[in-house]
Amino acid sequence: MQASSLGQFSEALHERLGGLKALLDAIPAAVYTTDAEGRITGFNEAAVRFSGRVPRLGSDSWCVTWKLYRADGTPMPHDECPMAIALREGREVRGVTAIAERPDGTRVHFMPYPTLLRDARGKIVGAVNMLVDVSDQMRAEELRSRLAAMVDSSSDAIFSTSLDGVIRTWNRGAERLFGWSAAEAVGQPATIIIPEDRQAEDQEVLERIRRGETVSHLETVRVAKSGRLIDISLSVSPIRDAQGKIIGAARIPRDITERKHEEELRARLAAIVASSDDAIVGKSLDGVIRTWNRGAERIFGYRAEEAVGRHITLIIPDERRPEEDMVLARIRSGEVVDHFETVRRTKDGRLIDISLTVSPIRDPRGRVIGASKIARDISERKRMDALVRESEERLRSMVAGLRQADEKKDEFIALLAHELRNPISAIAVASDLLARSTIEDRKARFAVPAISRQVKQLRRLVDDLLNMARISTGKLALRKNPLELLAFAGRVVAARRATAASGIDIEVSGAPTWVEADSARLQQMIENGTLSVEDDGAGMSAATLTSLFKPFVQGEQPADREQHGLGLGLALVERLAVLHGGSVSAKSEGMGKGSTLTIVLPLAVRQAAPEAPTAARKAARRRVLVVEDEDDSREALKLLLETEGHEVAFTADGAKAIEEVARFRPDFALVDVGLPGMDGYEVARRVRELPEGKALKLIALTGFGGDKYRRRAEEAGFDLHVVKPISYEQLLRVFADA
């Protein structure tokens, strides 16, 4: 080529290169070139700004940057950068990101685009590389990743919808809250969780979002997959694209079901507190009043605005203030003060009795921050308690008085019976004596059995009176033994025939039956009633039947007939039947139609041989000492015994009785326990100390019956306890059994 042609080529090449340099500088991205060995041959201004330095042409290789790092932050040697790989391996490298560090320490995320340069023959003669700054994209992507992780791990439900309400995203919180999985929910309309009556509300929310508004803490209701309704607080924000256009809605529904329940509970409690008749007061741990309900206003007289903020000692009397320190100390330790009765002072100065219950108030972490106090006015209850105590005291006094009167009544009855039995005893012995004497006078022969019959009637009346008193006080004890009822009733009736009124015939019939019974009491029952008595007498009215077994009650009698007895016979029968485990009943068709009385007793195991009546035996001649202070009784008994052939000594004095035992050496001693001075019990005790008194049969004669007196006689040393009046038949049995 000629010189002129070569000059023209150089000028043209210079113009081209100059034009290329201008083009590179116009590109906003960093661009640089290298030769086939990787040496830097050119770069634009953007490359200088990107690398933070001016590359050195001919000596810098592979990349214009100061330092390089891989995307994971590990150092990247320059000869391993994408430009070096492209030149060595003869291929273009794409999709790689790296980090460049400037000399000032700042770093830039970038994506390289190395492109190989070839000559006409395809040989690599160099390369051009464009470094695109992707730092903003990386930061945005990192932010999106963080937000996505936060949304996915949030305990709140977070999901997004399009502006037409179609679900686009659905986090795990939404899965937990509504029960729909992300796969089930995404692509579905949001109405799958909106109750039908709330769907118009959701359209209003979307309309606000389209206007760019934010919906905050809208309290509403949503429905879970299971159909359960959920109270939620809903916040909704617009979603915008890169140009700021609204393209959807981000929704955060928060479950407030528990809070709603708590609010409802608090509202109910507040209503209860407000309407309670009790004073309900809240206070801090230092005793400052925080709340004060209408009940407190009513009880203590202070309005809420007067009490709140003041110390609780406002209503505590000075002498009771240590109580408040004790209460607050227990509250601080978490205890409950329950039904503590104390006194408080009202606004007008009155002292009132109250029952106090105080409980700790705790914050959400369980710390005690105050006290709730319920004070109940118990003044009226205290007054009633005092009245009750006073009434109880009066009642106890009345009961004690009645008991004392009852005891005096029993004592009087016992004393009356004793006093009656003494003369009855004398009459009974005298009639026995007359019955055993030869009497020629016809009038006397009539009088003696009449006296005997009336003595027995008197004795039965006295016994009935005493027995009723014992049964009423629970002091009558039964001595039950097996006995054959038919035979026993026959013996009792046989004895009664002798004293029956003229014209009355008594028959005994039935089957042999064994019962467990007290023979003495059963005899009383048969004498007063019967096991089953049927008569054709006067009968009984319905009114009489209803009260027949009450004490001192007698049926109606014709005008020409007298009332007989005390009205105790059937009352005794009924009570004795019950004591035997049985019952008694009465039946009558009415006045003039007769009556039937029936006694029911429990059966007993039949004995091997029926009880045979004991034949009367004549007692052997005995030496008998009679100790009796009542002259007629003593003399009659002495004469009766002597008539029967017994040798008798007698005295009216206890001390002389002891002397007579030593002198007379009796086989039997009949001792009246009611002697003046030294009583019969003391006589028995002293006699038992004498040699002559060891084998002596001591028999207590008394007008007092019952177990109490029987035990007393036994403890004193008596062998037998005999209740006056004593008959000669009794004496015969005593002498015969001795």
Question: 656-685: per-residue pLDDT in tens?
Answer: 999 999 999 999 999 999 899 899 999 999
Report H helices in 436-484.
442-472
Token pair recorded at residue 42: 């050119």
pLDDT of residue 386: 85
What's the rounded mean pLDDT across residues 134-139? 80
What is the distance between the alpha carbons of residues 39 and 43, in angstroms, rounded to a whole number? 12
Counting every residue written for the chain, the total comes to: 738
Helix (H) or strand (E) holding 157: none
What's the rounded mean pLDDT across residues 632-659? 88
Token pair recorded at residue 197: 């009556």
Please name the residues in contact with 506: beta carbons below 8 A apart, sequence gap of 6 or more: 493, 496, 497, 500
pLDDT of residue 5: 46
pLDDT of residue 608: 43
pLDDT of residue 556: 58
Q: Is 642's pLDDT higher than 90?
A: no
**Confidence grade of residue 722 (pLDDT, cut at 50, 70, 90):** confident
Which tens digits make up the pLDDT trace of 183-204? Answer: 999 999 999 999 999 999 999 9
What is the number of helices (H) and of strands (E) in the chain? 22, 26
- Provide the edge-to-edge strand list for the sheet that holds 337-345: 289-292, 279-284, 368-377, 351-362, 337-345
Q: Phi, psi (5° rounding) for residue 724?
A: -65, 155
One-letter-per-residue 3-state SS of 38-88: CEEEEECHHHHHHHCCCCCCCCCECCCCCEEEECCCCECCHHHCHHHHHHH
Q: Letter for the amino acid at 731?
A: L
Helix (H) or strand (E) holding 292: strand 289-292
266 vs 85: which has the higher pLDDT: 85
How large is the greatest C-alpha to C-alpha distance in the chain, in angstroms? 214
pLDDT of residue 276: 84
pLDDT of residue 612: 47
Lowest-confidence segment of 90-104, 240-254, 686-700, 704-718 by average pLDDT: 704-718
Distances (CA, A) of 496 to 429, 504, 699: 19, 11, 27
Q: Letter for the amino acid at 334?
A: G
What is the distance between the alpha carbons of residues 324 and 327, in angstroms, rounded to a whole number? 5
Q: Is 436 helix (H, G, I), strand (E, B) or coil?
A: coil
* 287 CB neighbour count, 10 Å cutoff: 19
**Confidence grade of residue 730 (pLDDT, cut at 50, 70, 90):** confident
User: Taking a C-beta distance cutoff of 8 angstroms, is the pair 457, 499 a contact?
Assistant: yes
pTM here?
A: 0.38
**Confidence grade of residue 604 (pLDDT, cut at 50, 70, 90):** low
Which tens digits make up the pLDDT trace of 11-32? Answer: 544 454 455 566 667 778 899 9
Which tens digits make up the pLDDT trace of 36-47? Answer: 999 999 999 999
Q: Is 238 helix (H, G, I), strand (E, B) or coil?
A: strand
Average pLDDT taken over every residue of the chain: 81
**Confidence grade of residue 616 (pLDDT, cut at 50, 70, 90):** very low
Distances (CA, A) of 235 to 205, 252, 524, 583: 10, 5, 100, 87
170 pairs with which residues across the strands? 159
Token pair recorded at residue 440: 């020629």
Q: Is 702 helix (H, G, I), strand (E, B) or coil?
A: strand
Q: Is 488 helix (H, G, I), strand (E, B) or coil?
A: helix
Q: Phi, psi (5° rounding) for residue 611?
A: -70, 125
**Look-up of token digits 């309407």:** 275
What phi-psi label fits residue 406: left (phi over 0), alpha (psi between -120 and 50 degrees) or beta?
alpha
368 vs 407: which has the higher pLDDT: 368
**Confidence grade of residue 510 (pLDDT, cut at 50, 70, 90):** confident
What is the distance between the alpha carbons of residues 57 and 68, in angstroms, rounded to a whole number? 19
85 vs 706: which has the higher pLDDT: 85
Token pair recorded at residue 700: 């207590």
What is the distance between the alpha carbons of residues 312 and 372, in angstroms, rounded to a whole number? 12
pLDDT of residue 10: 42
- Pair type for strands 30-35 and 481-484: unpaired
What is the distance between the alpha carbons of residues 698 and 724, in angstroms, rounded to a whole number? 15
pLDDT of residue 505: 66
Q: Is 615's pLDDT higher than 70?
A: no
Lowest-confidence segment of 379-388, 579-588, 689-698 by average pLDDT: 579-588
Q: Letter for the amino acid at 387?
A: L
Question: What angle separates helix 485-497 from helix 519-528, to the nearest 10 degrees?
Answer: 60
User: Taking a C-beta distance cutoff of 8 angstroms, is the pair 71, 108 a contact?
Assistant: no
User: Taking a C-beta distance cutoff of 8 angstroms, is the pair 193, 186 a contact?
Assistant: no
Burial of 186 (C-beta count, 10 Å sphere; 0-12/13-18/19+): middle
Candidates 709, 647, 643; CA nearest to 680 is 709
What's the rounded mean pLDDT across residues 369-378? 92
Highest mean pLDDT among 129-143, 499-513, 553-567, 706-720: 706-720
Distances (CA, A) of 40 to 22, 31, 47, 58: 18, 11, 12, 6
428 vs 264: which has the higher pLDDT: 264
One-letter-per-residue 3-state SS of 540-560: CCHHHHHHCCCCCCCCCCCCC
Q: Phi, psi (5° rounding) for residue 417?
A: -60, -40
Lowest-confidence segment of 24-38, 72-86, 103-117 by average pLDDT: 24-38
pLDDT of residue 736: 73
Token pair recorded at residue 274: 């407000």
What is the distance between the alpha carbons of residues 342 and 653, in angstroms, rounded to a whole number? 70
pLDDT of residue 9: 42
Distances (CA, A) of 71 to 96, 134, 250: 8, 12, 32
Q: Letter for the amino acid at 150?
A: M
Long-range residue pairs from 73-79, CB within 8 A, at least 24 positions apart, any chain: 73/99, 79/38
